[in-house]
Structure 1
Amino acid sequence: MPSKSPAVTSDIKFRAREIGRQIRTRRKALGVSATALAESVDMSRVTVHRMSIE
């Protein structure tokens, strides 16, 4: 039986959103596409997009 996911507090959600915003802001400032970032970190473009949604 799979284990339950840990509880996600509002503080964790806030911090995750803030990290996503910082990644998106920096990526755009450097002129790096989401696809290029995803390829460089071996992640899907969709995952990168989901992380950086405002």
Structure 2
Amino acid sequence: MEYTKLTLGIALLVAFAWILFRNSKRSGVLHALIRIDTIVGMIAGLYLVITAVHSLFF
């Protein structure tokens, strides 16, 4: 289960980082950073990675 969470978290981080990068090229970095869906996706991916790593190693 933890490996699934880790894989899903990494996939979310990569996907939303790519979206953030793509949006920042079009409209600027600040406008891309205030997109709430991108920020929520990055936070969700980061949360999944942190909790999975914590469960695996501690």
TM value normalised by structure 2: 0.43
TM value normalised by structure 1: 0.46
Which structure has the highest helix share of the two?
Answer: 2
Q: Which has the higher contact order (CA 8 A, sep 6+)?
A: 2
